[in-house]
Structure 1
């Protein structure tokens, strides 16, 4: 993946330098990066997809084989200041709450519960785990958490290394939950008091699907497969990929974490997209993610 960023040209006169500097600032007031993704199997060999990253957005990208020995890399595009800021993981946290529910056999994929959520069309309605994640139901996870409990959830989060990481976040590092993260069951929908860097949120996402034999912390194969089924979002037959992911919205931060899986299961692409634009909302953020991967967005109702 490559990007183009506007830059000042070395000029012979101070006037020319000033003009180019002002032009540079004007451009940056409209956009930060234009990302070019080339020779990428998700979009087809030899194609180039142009994607504008706004000044209030950050995109993190990793392309890896799940069994590769080398630590998956991470590329950042967009507002670089967001790299060091901490944000609520919002409802992306529910991905790992779902993992703990499955790990502790509190729920099954087929089990449905009557859920009442004002933001979900047709509520109250019967939802299974995948639907609860897709629609980001709060009621579903409040109901099921009563059988799970804080200690079992923390055990799962500790095992996968969810939390703050030392230094620069990478998928081979183990995060740690802050001691004061818990804020009661009502705050579970956005991860309690957790505030993480985008790179930490992305690293944990990548590490969850990176199953190299050399890794110390690995997920049970059957558990991983079941968990991925609960995270399924859509099939993009045009590109030969399956899309998994989770949306999140809290404190004016809108997230979409996606995992693109090639049909042969040999290559994964993880994308974490943070949108803090004043016009941002959940559906717009999800739509922008699907625009990037050039796949139709599923209906959100």
Structure 2
């Protein structure tokens, strides 16, 4: 679902004093859960990136995880042994939340035979996941491209899907804005729990997130959810710096929201 864009700056929790990075794009939305109006977005940083389509990288696993839950393929608490070289302590055993936190390819590939392409495509199409055709406007869903399938090994970065940064952001916002009517309450709760990242006692809230890196682009999508039931703040960060890294991109999010970044180990 595409979101409308408003260029009045929406501060996540307090004024962000971190200098702008010319190789960075930040897309922000502030909204109440289940609000009637489509959340508006604010964009800052290198606005030229808004015109380019990117691989969703491992942010795609957010929606792959939903398909696993919808189709009862995964017990989110069950540990699976993984061998990803990029994950600290590997080989190790991880559950669904940890697999998303560390962005394990092995975890999702192990479960793939029990899910399959047809079931995954049904989930993606029901969500409206994919590029938005024509001029993006509030409430318009994307469509899964016919040529998106590039084989099982390419699923870790979304196959042949290419999205505008605002489309990547709007899909993330839709996870937290309101529960899709076709997803039962239990599955929706497990999905959000699997995306939990850390507590934020400094701001009395909780952080949900997902990383992604592919083709030299680093992403972090995070949502701050306050304990008091106030507005959520969802932020998508794209870092294309030559010295960019997963850790630096995650840290940027935590700097903006004013929370302490957890250990990544």
Match of 2:31 among 64, 67, 75: 64
Query: After the TM superposition, which residues 9-20 of structure 1 pair with which residues of structure 2 at under 5 Å, given as runs?
Result: none
Question: Given the superposition, is the C-alpha separation of residues 96 and 36 from structure 1 closer, same or farther in structure 2, using an over 3 Å criterion?
Answer: closer
Displacement, 1:122?
Answer: 1.3
1:299 counterpart = 2:263: yes
Q: Give the structure 2 partner of residue 109 of structure 1.
A: 76
Displacement, 1:83?
Answer: 0.6
Question: Given the superposition, is the C-alpha separation of residues 235 and 59 from structure 1 closer, same or farther in structure 2, using an over 3 Å criterion?
Answer: same
1:151 counterpart = 2:123: no
Displacement, 1:2?
Answer: 7.9
Q: Give the structure 2 partner of residue 231 of structure 1.
A: 195
CA contact (8 A) 1:169 1:203 kept: no
Displacement, 1:292?
Answer: 1.1
Q: Report the 3-state secondary structure (helix = DSSP H, G, I; strand = E; otherwise coil) of the residue aligned with 2:261.
A: coil
In 1, Cα distance between equivalents of 2:170 and 2:252: 21
With a CA cutoff of 8 Å and minimum separation of 6, indicate the structure with the bigger relative contact order.
2
In 1, Cα distance between equivalents of 2:235 and 2:136: 15
In 2, Cα distance between equivalents of 1:113 and 1:198: 32
Question: Given the superposition, is the C-alpha separation of residues 221 and 138 from structure 1 closer, same or farther in structure 2, using an over 3 Å criterion?
Answer: same
Displacement, 1:171?
Answer: 5.7
Displacement, 1:267?
Answer: 2.1
TM-score by length of 2: 0.92
Match of 1:252 among 216, 220, 245: 216
Displacement, 1:53?
Answer: 2.4
Question: Given the superposition, is the C-alpha separation of residues 170 and 281 from structure 1 closer, same or farther in structure 2, using an over 3 Å criterion?
Answer: farther
CA contact (8 A) 1:211 1:219 kept: no
Deviation string, structure 1 residues 182-212 (Cα, Å, up to 9, x no partner): 1111111100111110011011111222228
CA contact (8 A) 1:171 1:203 kept: no
Question: Given the superposition, is the C-alpha separation of residues 167 and 264 from structure 1 closer, same or farther in structure 2, using an over 3 Å criterion?
Answer: farther
After the TM superposition, list the runs of 4 or more consecutive aligned residues in structure 1 that deviate by more than 6 angstroms.
Answer: none
1:122 counterpart = 2:89: yes
TM-score by length of 1: 0.82
CA contact (8 A) 2:133 2:143 kept: no
- Where structure 1 has 5 or more consecutive residues not aligned to the other structure, the ranges are 4-34
CA contact (8 A) 1:36 1:49 kept: no
Question: Given the superposition, is the C-alpha separation of residues 75 and 36 from structure 1 closer, same or farther in structure 2, using an over 3 Å criterion?
Answer: closer
Displacement, 1:169?
Answer: 3.8
1:222 counterpart = 2:186: yes
Displacement, 1:218?
Answer: 5.4
Question: Given the superposition, is the C-alpha separation of residues 55 and 183 from structure 1 closer, same or farther in structure 2, using an over 3 Å criterion?
Answer: same
- Where structure 2 has 5 or more consecutive residues not aligned to the other structure, the ranges are 1-5
In 1, Cα distance between equivalents of 2:41 and 2:71: 31
Q: Give the structure 1 partner of residue 105 of structure 2.
A: 138
